[in-house]
């Protein structure tokens, strides 16, 4: 009997399907050795030797695997092909007492019968260079976390954490928020003309002002109302003619198949998935789904990759599927190859793609959960599109002259249009073609035009947008910070630590404690949160994986100056530097009162703590108390009081612990529910902020379930002039109608 060990029970089940009776496939259920949780677990004096332990939860599993390994003629380790997978295999060798030289290691990019059989035919030994790179990352992150986190506890509050990559991500979010806060909008005006050639009865079109005489105006060329009115008066009396018509063919090439980064970005932008959610679903698709064909099969290739390469076999399979589904004109004569732009990408790896290109999403829809179907469709479309014909667009640019008789001064207006001549790879996207057509009428040079209307609108420059998860992943990749396996856990960590939260548009913004932690790290540990330094460290880890550097000297070169600086800062930095004095003295001892951060938020306390333990609530807390005064317990009738926990404020019965009734405090937005009308037994509800099971903020009626009115966007309190529905806030400070059937719904103001 040959024993095959993988990390996941789902993966084990899928692989078992392809192997005969000679093989037993078992799962390690992830890591079976790790650093201890309650101590650093690194012998700094002895070349940073890690002290690995087998967690209590894994002891039974290790004992079972050890028994099976002793009976097996061969042990084959089939963990994931990345550094973490290599490290898991290495830990299995040690924990199970295996002989390293006699243990076989196999890797595969997809869980298919052919890939597994090929891997078994070509076993190798564990790559200790990859193990060293992963071990270096683990040791590095443990050193930073275990030494820097206690510093934050002493200077700000207990329970805080700092991490090498998470702190850089936090800095990015904080700096973006400060850009937004410091942004000063600039006024500008957009002027355009609605024109038509009456002689040929052609359709009307809009041309935007682009030049005054021969000088380009640019976006900010018209800076105020007076300047705009002067131009409008001129244009209202001007004669219009076509200066020129430029036509050209544009070829649009598809994007390459997904990397981890681009998949997370698209899944966030197009499907609203978080990075963590994307990776969980991708893992399910990779490890195997039962699609009614005699057991689970892997539907996509390995989902942690920074390469855009595709195997020749997969490209040929894609071409065959394209010909069958769309016709020969949509297939390429020769495969299309791409070059990665990612720093330090592993070119030997392969992009994320469907394992069976012929299995289109619709054929699998009944066997997949909704989110699995959506993500599979995204991956399938992207990979097949990368091997489809180039799309051809007809681009038209029309320049229009506006001139008054007898005056030298004149203006030029420009209209841009495009139409799809041949859809090519866009065909696969169906009705969601990522190209907007703007068809202009057929016009010729010197044709005279009729002015129908002048359009003039005041605008203001917008601040940079907050990072979405997709945007943050993109900038982390651009800086070379982190690797495919780290993007999702990095973002999850800063959110779980309450350093960062999401607004109603699912954009990331720093909480007050996030500002404080980031500012402290930037001021006193600039190297830790330095973008170039963090990227260089990733490069060092890559060099360890390639065998060009040893891991211990890399860690030593980092640790010595880091530890020295930490010791100096521990003495130099005072806790008082990070507390806010509120300008009042303690009523108990006369010391000054300060604002502090506790486990559940801010509170006011005496600076003489622990000698004086006086505390009081903040003004914000007092306001919440006042707003909820008079609430009675629905269970026992006793007064309800405002309490605070790790999930925020809530109402709890004053008879606790005899009565454990609790109630959520609803955050009103100042708008009455438009659906429910007040009656004797049903008061009109208020629109309140709520959270879905997935943590997404929405707005619904306070009387739910009696009234089920709900909106995903925050209402403004105003009504749509076209249909009477509530207007809601949209992106960039604009508003739109909440009624999707109203034509004003997509007409953002």
Nearby residues of 646 by Cβ (< 8 Å), 6 or more positions away: 599, 600
66 phi, psi to nearest 5 deg: -65, -40
Give the Cα-Cα-Cα angle 498, 501, 503 (nearest 5 degrees): 160
Do residues 375 and 282 lie in contact, with contact meaning Cβ atoms separated by under 8 Å? yes
Instruction: Give SS3 for 61.
Output: helix
**How far is it, in rounded angstroms, from Cα 718 to Cα 155?**
46
- Cα–Cα nearest to 443, from 414, 466, 423: 414
Q: Which two tokens stand for residue 642?
A: 């405002």
Decide the pairing of beta strands 615-616 and 640-645. unpaired
**How far is it, in rounded angstroms, from Cα 471 to Cα 466?**
9
Instruction: Give SS3 for 747.
Output: coil
The position carrying tokens 């850089």 is 168
> What are the start-end ranges of the H helices in 413-550?
469-479, 487-496, 512-524, 531-545
**How far is it, in rounded angstroms, from Cα 738 to Cα 711?**
7
Residue 453 C-beta-side C-alpha neighbours within 13 Å: 6
What secondary structure, in 3-state letters, does 168-233 show? HHHHHHHHHHHHHHHCCCCEEEEEEEEEECCCCCCCCEEEEEEEECCEECCCCCCCCHHHHHHHHH
Q: Provide the phi-psi class of 221: left if phi over 0, else alpha when psi is between -120 and 50, else beta.
A: alpha
Instruction: Catalytic residue, from 23, 258, 302, 376: name it.
Output: 302
Q: Which two tokens stand for residue 627?
A: 């707003």
- Cβ-based neighbour number of residue 272 at 10 Å: 14
The position carrying tokens 């597994």 is 116
Q: Which two tokens stand for residue 422?
A: 């041949």
Q: Which two tokens stand for residue 551?
A: 């891991």
> What are the start-end ranges of the H helices in 599-677?
619-627
Q: Which two tokens stand for residue 34?
A: 């790790």
Do residues 221 and 231 lie in contact, with contact meaning Cβ atoms separated by under 8 Å? no
- Cβ-based neighbour number of residue 398 at 10 Å: 24
Q: For this structure, is 302 an active site residue? A: yes
Is-cis flag, bond preceding 57, omega within 30?
A: no
- Cα–Cα nearest to 137, from 551, 434, 447: 551
Do residues 413 and 210 lie in contact, with contact meaning Cβ atoms separated by under 8 Å? yes
- Length in residues, the chain: 749
Q: Which two tokens stand for residue 669?
A: 């937005």
Instruction: Give SS3 for 417.
Output: strand
Decide the pairing of beta strands 296-297 and 289-290. antiparallel
**How far is it, in rounded angstroms, from Cα 514 to Cα 163?**
13
Do residues 242 and 444 lie in contact, with contact meaning Cβ atoms separated by under 8 Å? yes
Do residues 13 and 288 lie in contact, with contact meaning Cβ atoms separated by under 8 Å? yes
**How far is it, in rounded angstroms, from Cα 190 to Cα 222?**
7
What residues pair up with 212 in beta bridges, in sequence order? 215, 411
Torsion angle, alpha carbons of 236, 240, 244, 248, to 10? 60
- Cα–Cα nearest to 194, from 409, 462, 402, 408: 402
Active site positions, annotated: 302
């Amino acid at each position: 009997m040959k024993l095959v060990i993988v990390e996941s029970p789902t993966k084990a089940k899928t692989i078992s399907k392809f192997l005969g009776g000679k093989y037993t496939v078992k799962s390690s259920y992830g890591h079976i050795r790790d650093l201890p949780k309650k101590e650093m677990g690194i012998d700094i004096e002895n070349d940073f030797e890690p002290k690995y332990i087998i967690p209590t939860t894994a002891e039974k599993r290790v004992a079972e695997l050890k028994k099976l390994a002793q009976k097996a003629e061969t042990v084959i380790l089939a963990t994931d092909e990345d550094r973490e997978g290599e490290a898991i295999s290495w830990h299995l060798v040690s924990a199970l007492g295996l002989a390293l030289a006699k243990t076989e290691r196999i890797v595969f990019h997809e869980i298919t019968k052919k890939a597994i059989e090929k891997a078994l035919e070509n076993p190798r030994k564990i790559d200790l260079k990859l193990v060293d790179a992963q071990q270096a990352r683990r040791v590095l992150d443990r050193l930073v976390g275990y030494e820097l986190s206690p510093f934050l506890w002493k200077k700000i509050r207990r329970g805080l954490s700092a991490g090498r990559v998470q702190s850089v991500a936090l800095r990015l979010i904080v700096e973006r928020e400060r850009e937004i806060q410091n942004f000063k909008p600039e006024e500008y005006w957009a002027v355009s003309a609605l024109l038509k050639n009456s002689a040929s009865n052609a359709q009307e079109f809009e041309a935007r002002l682009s030049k005054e005489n021969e000088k380009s105006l640019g976006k900010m060329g018209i800076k105020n109302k007076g300047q705009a009115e002067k131009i409008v008066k001129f244009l209202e009396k001007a004669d219009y003619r076509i200066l020129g018509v430029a036509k050209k063919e544009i070829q649009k090439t598809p994007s390459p198949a997904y990397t981890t980064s681009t998949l997370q970005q698209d899944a966030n932008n197009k499907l609203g998935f978080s990075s963590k959610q994307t990776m969980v679903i991708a893992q399910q698709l990779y490890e195997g789904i039962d699609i009614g064909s005699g057991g689970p099969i892997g539907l996509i290739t390995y989902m942690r990759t920074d390469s855009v390469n595709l195997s020749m076999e997969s490209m040929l399979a894609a071409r065959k599927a394209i010909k069958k589904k769309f016709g020969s004109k949509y297939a390429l004569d020769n495969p299309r190859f791409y070059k990665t732009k990612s720093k330090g990408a592993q070119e030997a790896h392969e992009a994320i793609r469907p394992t069976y290109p012929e299995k289109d999403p619709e054929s699998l829809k009944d066997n997949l959960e909704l989110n699995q179907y959506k993500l599979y469709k995204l991956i399938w479309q992207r990979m097949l599109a990368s091997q489809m014909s180039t799309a051809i667009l007809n681009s038209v640019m029309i320049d229009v002259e506006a001139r008054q008789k007898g005056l030298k001064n004149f203006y030029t207006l420009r209209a841009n249009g495009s139409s799809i001549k041949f859809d090519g790879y866009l065909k696969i996207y169906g009705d969601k073609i990522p190209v907007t057509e703007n068809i202009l009428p057929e016009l010729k040079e010197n044709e005279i035009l009729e002015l129908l209307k002048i359009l003039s609108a005041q605008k203001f420059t917008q601040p940079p947008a907050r990072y979405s998860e997709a945007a943050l992943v993109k900038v982390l990749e651009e800086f070379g910070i982190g690797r495919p396996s780290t993007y999702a856990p990095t973002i999850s960590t800063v959110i779980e630590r309450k350093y960062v939260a999401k607004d109603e548009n699912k954009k990331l913004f720093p909480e007050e404690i996030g500002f404080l932690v980031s500012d402290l790290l930037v001021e006193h540990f600039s190297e830790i949160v330095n973008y170039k330094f963090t990227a260089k460290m990733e490069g060092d880890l890559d060099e360890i994986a390639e065998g060009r550097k040893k891991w211990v000297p890399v860690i030593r070169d980092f640790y010595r100056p880091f530890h020295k600086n930490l010791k100096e800062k521990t003495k130099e930095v005072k806790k008082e530097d990070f507390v806010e004095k509120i300008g009042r003295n303690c009523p108990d001892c006369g010391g000054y009162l300060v604002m502090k951060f506790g486990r559940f938020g801010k509170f006011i306390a005496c600076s003489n703590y622990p000698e004086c333990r006086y505390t009081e609530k903040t003004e914000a807390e007092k306001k919440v108390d006042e707003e909820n005064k008079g609430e009675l317990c629905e269970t026992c009738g006793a007064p309800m009081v405002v309490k605070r926990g790790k999930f925020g404020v809530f109402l709890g019965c004053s008879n606790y612990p005899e009565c454990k009734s609790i109630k959520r405090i609803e955050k009103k937005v100042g708008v009455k529910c438009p659906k429910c009308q007040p009656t004797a037994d049903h008061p009109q509800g208020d629109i309140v902020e709520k959270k879905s099971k997935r943590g997404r903020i929405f707005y619904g009626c306070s009387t739910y379930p009696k009234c089920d009115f709900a909106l995903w966007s925050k209402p403004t309190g105003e009504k749509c002039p076209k249909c009477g529905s509530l207007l809601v806030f949209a992106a960039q400070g604009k508003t739109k109608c909440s009624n999707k059937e109203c034509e004003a719904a997509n007409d953002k103001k």
